[in-house]
């Protein structure tokens, strides 16, 4: 993301782009406006639209693959049964409480704390990024579950969940929201960056694993949640990096 401005500038000023501008000036202007870092209606809005469309297309593609792939369905069923067979009480209890960290009440509570800290630090762009990531993730979860209506592996569930299975909302929240929190910690922490990066990866993987281990999601539910959550995380990061580039430009002009 450090060289985002240079990349976009190259895309608009290389030999082929300039030739295209000569032949199709109006279309070139539309494209250049969409890739502009000068205001929110440029590159950030473009990213929001693209990621929203990508999420929908990803869900459709994954769902089609799952429905038509006997091997994936068999893998899901076998892995759910295996997790049930090897489940032990003490570890199930641990993951039962651990996985709650990525549930709706905890995520909202932690988001409010993060927003309060951002207000105190006067980092409004962090607030915007967190809110967009949360709203986008929440909408994707609701739409995805109600569109695909996949039944959970109820025969192996450690406890009862009442919503549909696909995609895993906990896994999506782990990547999108907690990924954003770990990113902000890394971005603002001059030391221990490697520690926080590794901690973030382990946390996200354990959330996904806990959903399978507790028998409340199939493997493919978790993978779909990871993919979509990553898209929203990248959007949130893009907004912050866009703002940083814009602020740096203003300082250089002064």
Quote the distance between the C-alpha of residue 241 and its chain's center. 16
pLDDT at res. 51: 66
Position 53 in a domain: no
pLDDT at res. 2: 46
Radius of gyration from C-alpha coordinates of the chain: 21
Q: Which of 166, 168, 172 is nearest to 51 (CA)?
A: 172
Whether the pLDDT of residue 210 is over 70: the answer is yes
Report the C-alpha gap between 175 and 186 in whole angstroms. Answer: 15
What pTM does this model have? 0.76
Provide long-range contacts, Cβ within 8 A and 24+ apart, for 105-110: 107/134, 107/173, 107/177, 110/177, 110/181
- Give mean pLDDT, residues 118-139: 89
Taking only the tens place, the pLDDT of each residue in 56-66 is 676 666 666 66
What's the CA gap between 43 and 99, in Å, rounded?
35
- Asked whether residue 54 is assigned to any structural domain, the reply reads no
Q: Which residues constitute the domain of residue 170?
A: 70-253
Total number of domains in the chain: 1
Residue 44 inside a domain? The answer is no
Instruction: Kindly report, residue by residue over 71-106, the tens digit of the pLDDT.
Output: 777 888 888 899 889 899 999 999 999 999 999 999
CA distance 24 to 192: 50
Let me know if residue 1 belongs to a domain. no
List, for residues 183-209, the tens digit of each pLDDT value.
999 888 767 888 889 999 999 999 999
């Amino acid at each position: 993301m450090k060289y985002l401005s240079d990349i976009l500038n190259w895309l608009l000023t290389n030999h082929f782009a300039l030739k295209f501008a000569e032949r199709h000036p109006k279309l070139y202007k539309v494209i250049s406006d969409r890739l502009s870092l000068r205001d929110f209606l440029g590159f950030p809005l473009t990213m929001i639209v693209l990621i929203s469309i990508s999420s929908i297309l990803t869900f459709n593609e994954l769902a089609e693959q799952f429905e038509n792939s006997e091997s994936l369905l068999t893998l899901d069923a076998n892995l759910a049964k295996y997790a049930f067979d090897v489940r032990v009480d003490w570890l199930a209890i641990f993951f039962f409480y651990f996985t709650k960290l990525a549930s709706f009440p905890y995520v909202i509570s932690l988001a409010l704390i993060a927003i309060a800290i951002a207000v105190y630090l006067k980092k409004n762009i962090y607030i915007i990024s967190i809110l967009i990531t949360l709203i986008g993730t929440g909408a994707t979860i609701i739409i995805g579950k109600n569109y695909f209506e996949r039944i959970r592996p109820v025969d192996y569930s450690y406890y009862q969940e009442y919503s549909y299975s696909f995609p895993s909302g906990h896994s999506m929240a782990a990547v999108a929201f907690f990924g954003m929190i770990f990113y902000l910690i890394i971005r603002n922490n001059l030391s221990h960056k490697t520690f926080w990066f590794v901690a973030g990866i382990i946390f996200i993987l354990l959330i996904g694993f806990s959903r399978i281990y507790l028998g409340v999601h199939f493997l493919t539910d978790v993978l779909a949640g990871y993919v979509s959550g990553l898209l929203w995380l990248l959007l949130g990061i893009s907004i912050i990096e866009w703002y940083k580039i814009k602020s740096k430009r203003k300082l250089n002009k002064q």
